[in-house]
Structure 1
Amino acid sequence: MIPADFVREVYTASYRRLVVQTYAVCGDVGEAEEAVQEAFVRALGHGRSFVTLDNPEAWLRTVALNHLRNRWRHAEVVRRFQGRLFEPPTHLELSPDHVVLVEALRRLDRAHRTAVALHYLADLTVAEVAAELGVPEGTVKTRLARSRELLGPMLSGEEADHG
Structure 2
Amino acid sequence: MSATDDAAAKAPSFDEFYAANVRGITVQIYAYFGNVSDAQDVVQEAFCRAYPKWETLRGYDDPVAWVRRVAWNLATSKWRRMRTAMRFARKQREEHIPGPSPDHVALTTALATLPERQRRAVVLHYLADLSVAEIAKREGVAPGTVKSWLHRARAALADRLSDRSGEEVDDA
TM-score normalised by L of structure 1: 0.45
TM-score normalised by L of structure 2: 0.42
Structure number with greater Rg is 2
